[in-house]
Amino acid sequence: MINQVIDHMMTQNRSHFLIPGDMIASVNEDNSLRHAFLVLTKVRYAKIPVLDNDDHFKGLLSLPMITDKMLGLDEITAKPLDEFCVRDVMETGVTTIDDPYNIEEVLHALVDSAFLPVVQDDGTFTGIVTRREVMKGINYIGHNIDKQYAITAKEPAATHH
């Protein structure tokens, strides 16, 4: 279990970790791969959220998922960009976190992900929590914990010979 002081300080800054959904580039699961290709190329993010018409989170999309459809044995073709939609290639089964979210759960999940989609109980996409923003929070704690708490070192445990 995470240290209570650290959990408290992280929870105080929790609102700073969430990047709201309306600030995030996303695509609709029904969009053509051509549209998604252009969005991903313009925003330059490795992955973006995929939503349905009701703003429910459905998965993630990356350029390699799209370009994989474009690669044949002997050629690269743009034909699949109009033949397939985002739903056909997106990553599903993505780890999401609840809104409001548990700090310890977020720390564990961010070990393997650059960001985590945040969803409400009904699956509505709220935004993302990024590893970058959480690291800024940890940096804040490292610089400010002694301003809020008295820290004393414990006596080292006696060694037995």
Residue 156 resides in a domain: no
pLDDT digits (tens, 9 = 90+) for 9-45: 888 877 788 999 999 999 999 999 999 999 999 998 9
Residue 82 resides in a domain: yes
In total, how many domains does the chain have?
Answer: 1
Report the pLDDT value the prediction gives residue 11, as an integer from 0 to 100: 81
Q: What is the DSSP letter of 90?
A: -
pLDDT digits (tens, 9 = 90+) for 62-96: 999 999 999 988 999 999 999 999 999 999 999 99
Residue 112 resides in a domain: yes
Residue 93 resides in a domain: yes
Q: Where in the sequence is the domain holding 64, given as residue range(s)?
A: 4-146
User: What percent of the residues of the chain are helix, what percent strand, and what percent coil, each to the nearest 5?
Assistant: 40, 20, 35
pLDDT digits (tens, 9 = 90+) for 107-148: 999 999 999 999 999 999 999 999 999 999 999 999 999 998
Residue 40 resides in a domain: yes
Residue 161 resides in a domain: no
Residues 6+ apart with CB under 8 A from 56: 119, 122, 123, 124, 125
Q: Any idea what the CATH number is for the domain that residue 70 is in?
A: 3.10.580.10
